[in-house]
Amino acid sequence: MIHMEKTHPIITIPLAHRGLHNEKWDENSLPAFKHACDNKFGIELDVHLMKDGNIAVIHDANLKRVTGFDVLIEDLVKEDLVKCHLLKSKTTIPLLSEALNLVDGRVPVLVELKVVNDFNPEFALKVIEILNQYPYKKNVALQSFNPYAVKFLRMNQDVFPVGQLASDILPGQSKFVHFMFKHLFILMISKPHFLNYEVGYIKKRKIARLRRRGLPIVTWTIDTEEKKTLAAKFADNIIFESIKI
């Protein structure tokens, strides 16, 4: 049984949102991850399951925004990635294993499983399999918006803390889903080791109570001084971008 202390690296070291990306280095790219490591910031990254069972590091399900190719990552195999260069750095979309090899334990890594609606347990099991081969397990945590994915990750391994991502606004979701998230009823399903809530909605009495009881609170995305001040008051750690930390 995991109990996540607030001394865990995911809670003590600020996390660069999709790596430390900028006008030269794309989000979720190996250069952005190297930049974060060089500056001693943790890394938050996003993963998707590919057609061949590989785990790719990319935020969107569709590659168009970051590569120009209008194709779904779930329809591709590893060999396809060499044709899909990221727009800024011209590097390829990395696999999770490649990102971990680059980080090599230097900074903590928070892995978000991108699950829009239906949760595929094979996805979670594959991520766990890859992470189990990583030598620096105490520097890793998992998270997802999907409470059933969080529950599955929590129940099917006892090494990595698992966080519940949440916000008051969830594009494309029903009023019921919004209600469940806004009032944190999803926590009854996921029972996470930490909560990662969008900064604009973090001033909830329920979140403050959970924090007082020992649940670590992370917040995203800190990209202004105003949000940074808010996060300092209501959260234990931040996921940031485009701002000096």
> Which positions are annotated as active-site residues?
17, 59
Task: Enter the tokens of residue 122.
Answer: 């094979």
Closest CA to 153 of 124, 116, 129: 124
Residue of 146, 19, 162 whose CA lies nearest to 93: 19
What is the CA 37 to chain-centroid distance, rounded?
Answer: 17
Helices (H) and strands (E) in the chain, counts: 10, 9
* Sign of the torsion angle spanned by Cα atoms 173, 175, 178, 184: negative
CB 141 within 8 A of CB 163: yes
The Cβ-side half-sphere exposure at 175, using a 13 Å CA radius, reads 0
Residue reference for tokens 């390829």 = 92
CA 161 to CA 135: how far, in whole Å? 16
Q: Which residues is 239 bridged to in the sheet?
A: 15
DSSP, collapsed to helix, strand or coil, labels residue 195 as strand
- Report the C-alpha dihedral over residues 91, 96, 99, 103, rounded to 10 degrees: 170
Q: What share of the chain is helix, strand, coil (3-state, %, to 5)?
A: 35, 20, 45
